[in-house]
Amino acid sequence: MHELSLTEGIVSTITARLGDRRVVMVRLEIGKLAGVVVDSVRFCFDVVVAGTSVEGARLEIVEPGGRALCRDCGAEFLTDDPILLCPCGSSDVEVLAGMELLIKAVEVEPDVRDVRV
Amino acid sequence: MCATCGCDDHSHEQGGGVVIDLEERLLARNDHLAGHIRDWLASIGVRSYNLMSSPGSGKTTLLERTVRELGLPCSVIEGDQETTFDADRIQATGVAAVQVNTGAGCHLDAVMVRKALASLDPAPGSVVFVENVGNLVCPALFDLGETGRVVILSVTEGEDKPLKYPHLVRTGDVVLLNKVDLLPYLDFSQDRFLRALRQVNPHAPLLPVSARTGEGLADWYAWLSR
């Protein structure tokens, strides 16, 4: 259940960046090869935001699919399988996409600090 | 210019709220600290190894023997949810050990390792072994500032373990197959295990060992001393 500590990290990162600003949406990017269970993050999120400025925020999760480059045959291939096998049979691959673990953006309630100057 | 994030090149307005691009990695804090640990250990010539396996694969038995036989000054960080049993076993060999109890946590992270290192105060030129919580899933994501990752599997766990836990096994710099002294009593095929391993980790050396009898440990010590 590493999703719990990951999710705690999401909330502490957001509050460190934004202080006590009321957050109404959090957008994450969790790649399909990252080894993180999105449903567990959703479950943990509701627990760890309680009592913080992120409480009640909508959680949006984008899940980029996996893409890898085979170092043996040079082919690029798509896969969401954590066993990264090129169609040629090689497992010597470089992951190009699908390992993302990012807080992309948050939406906060507007306040006077957003007045463009 | 937006007074919140300082940018002036994208729109923030969305449904009455203000969208702020963060682009922060989820593991940024852990990875940042792990980077500091790695730099600090390198600056004093200390190598550290993150030992990852299931519960009961023989990590602590392997370490009890390794710290006595490696021929280099060693210290150990022991991660478990509860108890000081493992640190007690290491200390009984005369080597310094710190127990980290993770409580509800299922893995060590860089914060725990930094704290343990502060109390361990490893000697320059020594080797630090970090025995992670017995778990083949959660430790994979967390960089502990280690020099190398050691995955330990044992013959009693079956040949297909690498395929069942590909995320963690893929990250190993070396893979130890422990308890090979039990092979005569099991239907375990080392060939099938090797094929499974190579589907998720094409390059890591595979070292068959027995922490109980000492078989194969010379190769492990050679790997650590390389």
Containing A9, the helix (H) or strand (E) segment is: helix A2-18
Residue A117 confidence class, pLDDT cut points 50, 70, 90: low
Least confident of A18-22, A102-106, B142-146, B215-219: A18-22
Query: Chain A closest CA to B223's CA: distance in Å?
Result: 22
Dist CA A112 CA B21 (whole Å): 18
* Nearest in space to B81 (alpha carbons), one of B111, B51, B127, B112: B112
Q: B203 and chain A: CB distance < 8 Å anywhere? A: yes
The helix-helix angle for A38-48 and A2-18 (nearest 10°) equals: 50
Q: pLDDT per position in chain B (226 positions), as tens? A: 444 445 544 445 555 789 999 999 999 889 999 999 999 999 999 999 999 999 999 999 999 999 999 999 999 999 998 999 999 999 999 999 999 998 878 899 999 999 999 999 999 999 999 999 999 999 999 999 999 999 999 999 999 999 999 999 999 999 999 999 999 999 999 999 999 999 999 999 999 999 999 999 999 999 999 8
CB-CB neighbors (< 8 A) of A84 in chain B: 166, 170, 200
- The two tokens of residue B181 are 């002294």
Q: Which CATH architecture has domain A2-65+98-110?
A: 2-Layer Sandwich (3.30)
Q: Is the pLDDT of residue A77 over 50?
A: yes
Least confident of A41-50, A71-80, B104-113: B104-113
Residue A82 confidence class, pLDDT cut points 50, 70, 90: very high
- Please name each of the domains of chain B with its CATH number: 20-224 (3.40.50.300)
* C-alpha A107 chain-centroid distance: 16
Residue A71's alpha-carbon distances to A83, A108, B50, in angstroms, are 15, 44, 27
Helix intervals (H) in B5-109: 28-43, 59-69, 85-91
CB neighbours of residue A12 within 10 Å: 14
Dist CA B38 CA B128 (whole Å): 12
CB-CB neighbors (< 8 A) of B18 in chain A: 107-110, 114
Q: Is the pLDDT of residue A88 over 50?
A: yes
CB-facing half-sphere around the CA of B219: CA atoms within 13 A: 14
Helix intervals (H) in chain B: 28-43, 59-69, 85-91, 110-120, 161-164, 166-170, 190-200, 217-224
Residue A112 has a pLDDT of: 65
Residue A115 has a pLDDT of: 61
Number of alpha helices (DSSP H) and beta strands (DSSP E) in chain A: 2, 6
- The two tokens of residue B146 are 């280690």
Residue B11 has a pLDDT of: 47
Q: Is the pLDDT of residue A50 over 90?
A: yes
- Spatial contact of B114 and B121, defined as CB atoms under 8 Å apart: no
Mutation test of the interface with chain A: which of B24, B27, B109, choosing the one with the most A Cβ atoms within 10 A? B24
- Spatial contact of B174 and B150, defined as CB atoms under 8 Å apart: yes
Angle at B117 between CA B116 and CA B118, to 5 degrees: 90
Percent of chain A with pLDDT over 90: 85
Q: B7 and chain A: CB distance < 8 Å anywhere? A: no
The alpha carbon torsion through A30, B200, B111, A62 (nearest 10 deg) reads 0
Extents of the domains making up chain A: 2-65+98-110
Q: Is the pLDDT of residue A111 over 90?
A: no
Beta-carbon separation of B28 and A13 below 8 A: yes
Residue B13 has a pLDDT of: 54
Dist CA B169 CA B52 (whole Å): 9
Cβ contacts of A111 within 8 Å, gap of 6 or more: A21
* C-alpha B222 chain-centroid distance: 19
